[in-house]
Amino acid sequence: MRNILTEESKLYLSKLWPLFALVIVLPLVSYFVWLVFPEKNLEIVVLDKTVPSATYQEHQSIFWTIEHLKFSGEAGEYKSADRDYFGFHPDDSDSHGRVWDFSNWSEGDIQKKAKELDVLYLADTYGVYSEDFNSENSQGISEKIYGGLDRSDISLIRESIAQKKTIIAEFNTMASPTRPGIRAEFENLMGLKWTGWIARYFDEMDTTVNQDLPNWLVQQYVDQHENTWVPNGPGLVFVHENGQVEVFSNSIDYEGETPMIRTQQFNQHGFKLPELVPYPDWFDIILIEREYQVISYYDISPTTLGQQKLRDMGLPRFFPAAVVRDLGEGQHYYFAGDFADLRNSAGSARFMGLPVFWRGFYLVTDYTDRRSFFWNYYYPLLSQVLERAYQAKDH
């Protein structure tokens, strides 16, 4: 009987071995490979003014990518998402946080910072508002506490361009609450032009079902469209800075479901990205100068009726999603979407091969989970941008 049990135990353990290797051995090997992989020096400055809580959802994905790729700063240390950024730092004080940015810096300090950095990343300047700290607040217009590009930010951008550094900016950098004069300076420096429109997908336009539809958005649309609302079902909402609101209804104004980010397989700059990625979050619609090349673009698949509505709104058939201006020395990127936003933690960055592993779990077509967009599109995009910045610095 004892021998039979022993043989059964051996058989049982032999079946458990692959699971043991998967759960214990592979992570250990992955971690060890990450440890021995050489560090690379790349000084990256991140500006994020939209940090209402300690989740750091507007920039944690940036710092995860930086650490995973082993890019360390001048001090030889990996940057931390909770402290190593400029912008708003939340706390439990009556003011809800403290501001650490460039607003009190002298021109000399800004020139020095521009000289030290290799990459300037403008993650989000929308800011923080009173409703961010009041769960009982309505979905009406909220009072701004802090946000928007300012004169000191423009000075750092201008100096970074002059010193041929890599600049990355994304939605929302130049839209509200940035003042028009500051926005115009940013547009001139970066060679971009905001159309005034932002847009977002909602999976249900029925206001009795979808509580995420802002009250102000619904009210403005109704006021502008003879007290009528749109059909139930998925829809695309377009909001102009002048207050105009338009809605594209699924199967009436556009086909498919969500906006799609399309990347040509053989794009001019050789970025390796999925050809088709659904994108359901906010994005801004921009125009670009001829010096720019389009890495990816938005396609909402408008119907004939939708195409006419776009023309009436002064918008093209396709919208840039990710663009690059290569000046030989120093590249400028703009991501026309809330790409860095990651609501859930990505876990430890110190495992080699982790992005490939997670891409096997998160289908590129699953737009309901933000991590799918991170692993399938944003991480591959940002990692290639940072590697190119490092190679440019090294040469």
Residue 23 included in any domain: no
pLDDT exceeds cutoff 60 at 5: no
Average pLDDT over residues 92-96: 90
The pLDDT value recorded for residue 354 is: 92
pLDDT band at 133 (very low <50, low <70, confident <90, very high): confident
Measured between alpha carbons, how far is 42 from 73 in angstroms, rounded to an integer?
6
pLDDT exceeds cutoff 90 at 395: no
Q: Are 274 and 377 in contact (CB under 8 A)?
A: yes
Q: What is the CATH number of the domain that holds 188?
A: 3.40.50.880
Measured between alpha carbons, how far is 74 from 340 in angstroms, rounded to an integer?
24
Which residues, 6+ apart, have CB-to-CB distance to 27 below 8 Å? Answer: 351
Measured between alpha carbons, how far is 178 from 165 in angstroms, rounded to an integer?
23
Residue 18 included in any domain: no
pLDDT exceeds cutoff 90 at 334: yes
Average pLDDT over residues 329-336: 94
pLDDT band at 12 (very low <50, low <70, confident <90, very high): low
The proportion of the chain whose per-residue pLDDT surpasses 90, expressed as a percent, equals 79
Q: Which residue has the tokens 């809580």?
A: 53
Average pLDDT over residues 208-219: 94
Residue 7 included in any domain: no
The pLDDT value recorded for residue 213 is: 95
Average pLDDT over residues 281-289: 97
Measured between alpha carbons, how far is 217 from 247 in angstroms, rounded to an integer?
10
Checking 228-234 for CB contacts under 8 A at 24+ apart, the result is 229/205, 230/205, 231/205, 232/204, 232/205, 232/206, 233/204, 233/205, 233/206, 234/201, 234/202, 234/203, 234/204, 234/205, 234/258
Residue 1 included in any domain: no
In degrees and rounded to multiples of 5, residue 166 shows phi and psi of -80, 130
Residue 272 included in any domain: yes
Q: pLDDT averaged over the chain?
A: 91
The pLDDT value recorded for residue 19 is: 59
Measured between alpha carbons, how far is 8 from 43 in angstroms, rounded to an integer?
58
Task: Give the pLDDT confidence of 294-327 residue by residue, as tens digits.
Answer: 999 999 999 999 999 999 999 999 999 999 999 8
Average pLDDT over residues 92-113: 95
Number of domains in the chain: 1
The pLDDT value recorded for residue 136 is: 58
pLDDT band at 259 (very low <50, low <70, confident <90, very high): very high
Residue 336 included in any domain: yes
Q: Are 180 and 270 in contact (CB under 8 A)?
A: no
Average pLDDT over residues 63-76: 90
The pLDDT value recorded for residue 7 is: 61
- With 0-12 / 13-18 / 19 or more C-beta atoms within 10 angstroms meaning exposed / middle / buried, residue 79 is buried
CA nearest to 141, candidates 174, 175, 176: 176
- The full DSSP string for 107-120 is HHHHHHHHHH-SEE
The pLDDT value recorded for residue 270 is: 87
Token pair in block for residue 142: 């909220």
CA dist 383 → 38, 73, 302, 386 (Å): 16, 16, 32, 5
The pLDDT value recorded for residue 137 is: 45
Average pLDDT over residues 39-46: 95
Give residue 343's domain range.
39-394
Phi-psi region of 348 (alpha: psi -120 to 50; beta: other; left: phi over 0): beta
Average pLDDT over residues 155-174: 96
Residue 24 included in any domain: no
Residue 22 included in any domain: no
The pLDDT value recorded for residue 1 is: 44
Average pLDDT over residues 120-134: 93
Measured between alpha carbons, how far is 384 from 356 in angstroms, rounded to an integer?
14
